[in-house]
Amino acid sequence: MKLQMVGCSHLTASVEIRQQLAFQPDDLASALEDFRLRFPNTEAVVLSTCNRVEVYTAAEDEGVSPSHEDVVCFLAEFHNMKPEDILGALFEQSGEDAVRHLFYVAASLESMVIGESQILGQVKKAYEQATLLGSTGPLTHGVFQAALKAARLVATHTSIHQRRTSVPAVAIAELSKQIFERLDNKNILLIGAGEMAEETLEYIREEGGTSITVVNRSDSRSEELAQRWQCRPARWDRLLELLVEADLVVSTTSSSEPVVTFENFKQVESRRYQRPLAILDLAVPCDFDPLIGDLLGVYLYNIDDLKTVCQRNREDRQKEWPAAEKIIEAETRSFMADLHHRATAPTIRQLQESCAKLKAEELERLFNKVPNINDPCREEIEYAFDRFINKLLHPPLDSLRKEASDGTPHALLEALKRLFKLKD
């Protein structure tokens, strides 16, 4: 049997190459159908994200499994590219290395941001889509289910996923929670409507925030963002009014000057009656005058504060790497041992069945020669035959099982097949 991965990631290929090789959701069905037509006896799963494009293949018979070059040609032709243009960007892993690689990917140890949580869902979705489209089988079922299990063990037994490393994630999941126990009962004001604002909205929703108002200088941008995330859009001229009602403010504009000066905020302060206000200023340069943070009841964090926390969290994640790696290695060894045992099982079964058939034939010949033998004697003779066969088979089968556990059963397996003339 053969397990293989051919692909590229942010570690091996430029973003231009990754974008050219990426599969759109609508393309996946036709891609897998094309692959099945080329290699009908090969299972396949395609993992395509913004940071990686990987094709996992598996076949019981190595002779029908596609080679590295075959998969490169498939990718190139599907995306209307030349194989030589992408060959250098695509790397191959096979056997145990392919299994280990998938486990590392699922556990986010191969991610651009180590410990990010999205990749596990992406791996699971890729596997489920391939299953729905009929391109998976026993081998891919086994390796992907084992990968999901390994990733969950890493998440459970290490804190590598628990330390946020992006600025919006730290702002919402850590700093805002230091001030408020919960966000579902807080008025949240988001200033800005760009990429940073959208990422921030995702984390606000994850933490339970529901009462969210989006304000931006461009009404159309704020309305579009609010519609996507089921928030309330508001006009820019209502900014100070909205600050009066807010409990949490996240500001992400690209303004070259503060959008809220100290004088502006003084107009708001008296109307808030010293209610606590958390301001997470993610803008560069700052959207809020730093002096505002000196006012009573105001907790103002700027981008430098957040980056310090991000860096500390990255260092904490790195400390968790050895523990995560130990789990992955243990799960890889366990899966490969099971896989090798599975490879030896048909040969063991055939050998046992062959001996059982010979035993039945010889017992029939013996009992025909001595037809008057009583039942207790018959049972004793059958028992003796069974003991003889078991003792005869025990040394070779025990050696085969031990070599399977060590991951090297192939030579002995082939020898047994030849010696006992067993069919594949």
- Active centre residues (catalytic): 50
Per-residue b or e along 13-48, where b marks 16 or more CB atoms closer than 10 Å to that residue's CB: beeebbebbebeeeebeebbeebbeebeebbbbbbb
| Integer Cα distance of 283 and 4 in angstroms | 45
Strand partners, 94: 4
Are 1 and 137 in contact by the 8 Å Cβ rule? The answer is no
Question: CB atoms < 10 A from the CB of 75, how many?
Answer: 25
Query: DSSP labels for 168-214?
Result: HHIIIIIIHHHH-S-STTSEEEEE--SHHHHHHHHHHHHTT--EEEE
Cα-flanking dihedrals φ and ψ of residue 384, to 5°? -65, -40
Are 170 and 306 in contact by the 8 Å Cβ rule? The answer is yes
| Integer Cα distance of 386 and 65 in angstroms | 40
| Integer Cα distance of 212 and 84 in angstroms | 50
Residue showing tokens 């094309």: 34
CA geometry: angle at 85 spanning 83 and 87, to 5°?
60
The burial class, CB within 10 Å (0-12 / 13-18 / 19+), for 104 is buried
Where residue 100 falls (left for φ over 0; alpha for ψ -120 to 50; beta otherwise) is alpha
| Integer Cα distance of 147 and 137 in angstroms | 15
232 DSSP assignment? E
Peptide bond before 25: cis, by omega within 30 degrees of 0?
Answer: no
Segment holding 5, helix H or strand E: strand 2-9
Tokens of residue 47, six digits = 């993992």
CA separation (Å) from 141 to 21, 103, 135, 299?
Answer: 25, 14, 10, 50
| Integer Cα distance of 120 and 49 in angstroms | 11
